[in-house]
Amino acid sequence: MSVTGPRLQPTLAERSRPGRGTPIVAHPPAGALDRIPADQRRSNPPALPELNEPEVVRHYVNLSQLNHAVDTGFYPLGSCTMKFNPKVNEWAARLPGFAQLHPLAPDEAAQGTLQLLWELEELLAEITGMRAVTLQPAAGAQGELTGILMVRAYHRDRGDEGRTEVLVPDSAHGTNPATASMAGLRTVNVPSAADGGVDVDAFRAALGPSTAAVMITNPSTLGLFESRIGELLDAVHAVGALAYMDGANLNAILGRFKPGEAGFDVMHLNTHKTFSTPHGGGGPGAGPVGVGEKLVPYLPSPRVVREADGSFRLERPGERPTSIGRLRSFVGNTGVLVRAYAYLRSHGTALAEVSDDAVLAANYLKHRLAGSYDLPFDRPCKHEFVASAAGLRRRTGIRTIDVAKRLIDFGFHPPTVYFPHTVEEAMLIEPTETESKETIDAFADALIEIAREAEDDPERIRSAPATAPVGRLDEATAARQPNLRWRAMTGREMPCPT
Amino acid sequence: MPFGPHTPDDRAAMLAALGIESVDELFADIPPALRASPLRLDPPDPEADLVDRLAGLAARNRVDLAGFAGGGAYRHYVPAVVDQLLLRGEWYTAYTPYQPEVSQGTLQSIYEYQSLLAELTGLDVVSASHYDGAAATAEAALMTCRQTRRARVLISRAVHPHYRAAAKTYLDAAGIVHEEVPLVGDGPAAGTTDLGALERLMADRDRPVAGVLAAQPSVLGLLEPMAEIGRLAHAAGALFVAVVEPVSLAVLAPPGAYGADIAAGEGQPLGIPLAYGGPYLGILATTEALVRQIPGRLVGQTTDAAGRRAFVMTLRAREQDIRRERAASNICTNQALLALAASIYLAELGPHGLRDVAALGAARAAELETALEAAGAPRVHPGPYLNEFAVRVPDADAVHRRLLDRGVLAGVPLATLEPGDPTVADGLLVCATEMTTPEEIGRFAAALADELGSAGEGSLRTDAGEAAVNRRIEVATR
């Protein structure tokens, strides 16, 4: 194994040389730790790398350049809404008044942040048609757990103890069934209808006195609006169950559909999808949850309360005994919420245009791919759509994974692949509203060109990517013989590659 | 729309290609009865107005105070390099490295995070990452149940109350019994986990314990008998979870050294701003024996088709997008950017810098203890601490409030943090870090002495009184 290719980097451990470092804080007085009992002290210092700042900077700048990112290029990762992340939002979150505020500062010292959080709750309630919103969940999946736990508490409070099942369509995000399990409930997977939508009859058959909730993503993970949602919600409520909406795809329906008005009882949002907070290489996000009237008593604590005099405060511990309690420490991913608030204020009444343009872009891109790829659902999509390389595979042997890797050579991040599982050789493509028509056309041209290459030069696609820092990886060995950390720290023992 | 690139011509061209007149036609599949009422929102803020609005809100927060609050979030110096590097769009505008060929930066940085935290904790497997210390603690408790196939968890009362509350939420949901281990009431070990009570709770063989959770340092700042707690847990066939604060691990024995099977903790002290509670960094680490139980992202080293070293997400069968209802957790989006911040912080400080941060905080805390005692607020507990401790102040909540007006955030009133514990009802939990200056300590002690004096023996609020107190404090801190 050669340790690095031309653009690859040695690890921090390999860069380390004993004795290097940058002075950051003053040296402590001698004996500062004498009062710590010897058996509680660390005998050997942690073997952290020793680098000076210029090396730290080179390391991380060079590493960063191995990433594809929204700031470097088109990133049509379906279901993730990789829209532009406004720079003013980053500035806002770093304002010392926000960034330096201690989470246990008393309410009177935190009025600015509390007001922002309260206003953000109001904005999100207006957008979703929900009665109230909690900002506590740190991400969508934690929001899902929050929502389902509130559903459980609601049923339990009514003495309705037998509701142990959550119905989930088979096209759902994996977080939905995983959430049901964490909430101590059993997942019932309901197959989708042939048109890609929820199969209302199959749901009706599965609904019953043991149904706690139905979790629906709308638009679905196929990028399709669930046109029969009204019927489905009626059926859910008729058996006494509640309806959860996975709001991952909210970017499609801003100003067009308010889940609370339509009859959903609870939903989560992903600020890092719809409201432009950065994805951060995997996080942080924030997963606010909106609820209808029935679930307001169960919202996590503490909530932000607005007093009659216009001041704000956090609920005291135990103030609202019906609450499901805490999901995390303090009040939430506040720094993320500042960015989401900035986004909403910068859009205001123009928010509906976000969805209009996102949906227009997705439909236009889908239209451009007709004839080159299978488009299994012949109806307008919302903000994303599923294309399939199933036909291409039958004709040429080229699979979705190959198309994805070849896209990298054209300078694009591949779409989400092999999801949803219900479509063979799926590519879930989401262009978002912040990409220009030129970019969308260039991406369509690339995909069309790859489909042509599949006929003429399939080997070129199979061996792609040719231009990325590394080629395709040996994932099997990584899983069979996990190497999850460096060993033999310090540059003395490891060769430092050049 | 602020960031939309489409000109009217672009839109017209796209609509024409689709053969439609208006974008409304693309929403025809929303049943008319279910269409949204108009959005009642304010007009958009242009950026210059937005900046004013946000700056105005930020200015309503008070961050000018001499801050002695800890309680799970700590004011540390963040080297400038951390944020400069985080602000590269290649980091913060990428997502989960699903396509490793174009994500080697994120993947290698995660592998390095895992390695750095492995060095700090003394445990070999680190997942990257969890929402915060509370969620990581809850996930750790669930891990102990999956591994032992038992359904009862014991949590020391000296674990942060928010973590206990989050663990309660997660464990209740999973139908797992959880009980709190009480603290020693008095004597030299007052405020630490009661080992006798722990032993009694473990003795019930019909209700075997999956895991025992204790914190080092504890929420009261005290050093816990972690090795003993671990021995008791293991003797009963339970796993031992250490809830840790990462900066302290530069100087305190790491979980791997005292036999912890899992370490959970809050990574905020590693270069992450206070930001009113988040985004922070949930640390979760374990032994190789438990690698298949750990939730969250793991990155492993491998090679590419040309034999070059590369990094990739691995052991994915634990994760929700593969395993669905049988996944180890529902976590998907995590706190990756904060894991990166922690890595840059650790790379910048190195082993000696981190030790200096921990030791300087300890030294400042000792000065704070002396000064507060001289001001009339003695420690509540006698045992050793690192950089955080509780002091006894009559009518602590009111004094805390009044000190705000004197520019001091006098720690955290324990009555608000631990409302269920009468033994600390008149306690203030205070901490010092390398950021704490002697001037701030002096300001706190003088103001406190004045408050206590005025409450007890008439007003000391005179220049002469303050000077006298300052002299006493100066002597005490020398």
The ipTM is: 0.96
Instruction: Say which residue the tokens 């390099």 belong to.
Output: B81
Instruction: Kindly state the percentage of chain A with pLDDT values over 70.
Output: 97
Tokens read off for B324: 């669905």
Greatest Cα-to-Cα distance within chain A, rounded to the nearest angstrom: 76
Report chain A's mean pLDDT, rounded to a whole number. Answer: 95
pLDDT at site B460: 41
B209-to-A158, A183, B140, B181 alpha-carbon distances in Å: 32, 21, 14, 12
The C-alpha R_g of chain B, in whole angstroms, comes to 26
Q: Residue range A304-310: average pLDDT?
A: 98
**Residue A496 scores a pLDDT above 50:** no
Q: Residue range A267-287: average pLDDT?
A: 97
Residue B478 sits at the chain A interface (C-beta within 8 Å): no
Q: How far apart are CA B313 and CA B294, in angstroms?
A: 14
Interface test with A, best of B102, B226, B385, B430 (most A CBs within 10 A): B102
Note the pTM of the prediction, 2 decimals: 0.96
Residue B271 near residue B341, CB atoms below 8 Å: yes
Instruction: Tell me how crowded residue B185 is: count the other CB atoms within 10 A of its CB.
Output: 10
**Residue B68 scores a pLDDT above 80:** yes
pLDDT at site A197: 87
Q: pLDDT band at B470, cuts 50/70/90?
A: low
For A7-64, what is each residue's pLDDT tens digit? Answer: 899 999 999 999 999 999 999 999 999 999 999 999 888 999 999 999 999 999 999 9
pLDDT at site A488: 62
Cα of B6 to nearest chain A Cα, Å: 6
Size of the A and B interface in Cβ pairs below 8 Å: 720
Cα of B310 to nearest chain A Cα, Å: 7
Contact across the interface for B10 and A437, Cβ inside 8 Å: yes
pLDDT at site B464: 44
Q: How far apart are CA B270 and CA B345, in angstroms?
A: 6
- Among residues A176, A166, A298, the alpha carbon closest in space to that of A249 is found at A176
**Residue B458 scores a pLDDT above 50:** no
For B12-48, what is each residue's pLDDT tens digit? Answer: 999 999 999 999 999 999 999 999 999 999 999 999 9
pLDDT at site B148: 98
pLDDT at site B328: 87
pLDDT at site A455: 96
- Among residues B11, B19, B98, B9, the alpha carbon closest in space to that of A370 is found at B19
Residues contacting B12, CB < 8 A, separation 6+: none
- B-chain CB neighbours of A173 within 8 Å are 320-321, 332
3-state secondary structure of A224: coil
**Residue A495 scores a pLDDT above 70:** no
pLDDT at site B467: 52
Q: How far apart are CA A488 and CA A246, in angstroms?
A: 45
Q: How far apart are CA A117 and CA A121, in angstroms?
A: 6
For B97-120, what is each residue's pLDDT tens digit? Answer: 999 999 999 999 999 999 999 999
pLDDT at site B462: 44
* Residue ranges of E strands in A200-281: 211-217, 242-246, 266-268
Instruction: Tell me how crowded residue A467 is: count the other CB atoms within 10 A of its CB.
Output: 11
- A-chain CB neighbours of B340 within 8 Å are 280-281
Q: How far apart are CA A237 and CA A262, in angstroms?
A: 12
The more confidently predicted of residues A111 and B316 is A111
Q: Residue range A393-418: average pLDDT?
A: 98
For A420-440, what is each residue's pLDDT tens digit? Answer: 989 999 999 999 999 999 999
- A-chain CB neighbours of B275 within 8 Å are 93, 98-101, 103, 334-335
pLDDT at site A271: 97
Q: pLDDT band at A276, cuts 50/70/90?
A: very high
Q: How far apart are CA A146 and CA A157, in angstroms?
A: 16
pLDDT at site B117: 98
Residue B304 near residue A472, CB atoms below 8 Å: yes
**Residue A304 scores a pLDDT above 50:** yes
Q: How far apart are CA B136 and CA B122, in angstroms?
A: 17
**Residue A102 scores a pLDDT above 50:** yes
Helix axes B47-59, A111-128, angle to 10 degrees: 130
Report chain B's mean pLDDT, rounded to a whole number. Answer: 94
> What chain B residue is nearest to A188 in terms of C-alpha separation?
B325
**Residue A493 scores a pLDDT above 70:** no
Residues contacting A471, CB < 8 A, separation 6+: A463, A465, B101, B304, B305, B306, B308
Residue B2 near residue A350, CB atoms below 8 Å: yes
> What chain B residue is nearest to A326 in terms of C-alpha separation?
B166
Prior bond of B225 cis (ω within 30°): no
CB proximity under 8 Å: B 219-278 to A? 223, 227, 249-254, 257, 266, 273-278
pLDDT at site B478: 41
Residue B450 near residue B466, CB atoms below 8 Å: yes
3-state secondary structure of A313: strand
Contact across the interface for A346 and B79, Cβ inside 8 Å: no
3-state secondary structure of A169: strand
pLDDT at site B116: 98
- Taking the CA atoms of residue B193, residue B198, residue B201 and residue B205 in that order, the dihedral angle to the nearest 10 degrees is 150
- Among residues A488, A432, A382, A464, the alpha carbon closest in space to that of A13 is found at A488
Contact across the interface for A48 and B304, Cβ inside 8 Å: no
Q: How far apart are CA B92 and CA A282, in angstroms?
A: 9
For A447-490, what is each residue's pLDDT tens digit? Answer: 999 999 999 999 999 999 999 999 999 999 999 999 999 986 53
Tokens read off for B431: 């901490």
Q: pLDDT band at B320, cuts 50/70/90?
A: confident
For B336-387, what is each residue's pLDDT tens digit? Answer: 999 999 999 999 999 999 999 999 999 999 999 999 999 999 999 999 999 9
Residue A365 near residue A357, CB atoms below 8 Å: no
Residue A230 near residue A257, CB atoms below 8 Å: no
Instruction: Tell me how crowded residue B228 is: count the other CB atoms within 10 A of its CB.
Output: 15
Tell me the torsion sign for CA atoms A478, A480, A484, A486: negative
Q: pLDDT band at B423, cuts 50/70/90?
A: confident
State which amino acid sits at residue A320. R
Interface test with A, best of B49, B64, B93, B440 (most A CBs within 10 A): B93
Q: Of B93, B173, B300, which is closest to A183 when you measure between CB atoms? A: B173
Q: Residue range B200-224: average pLDDT?
A: 97
pLDDT at site B79: 98
Range in A216-230, B198-212, B320-334 with the lowest mean pLDDT: B320-334
> What chain A residue is nearest to B104 in terms of C-alpha separation?
A66
**Residue B474 scores a pLDDT above 70:** no
pLDDT at site B475: 46
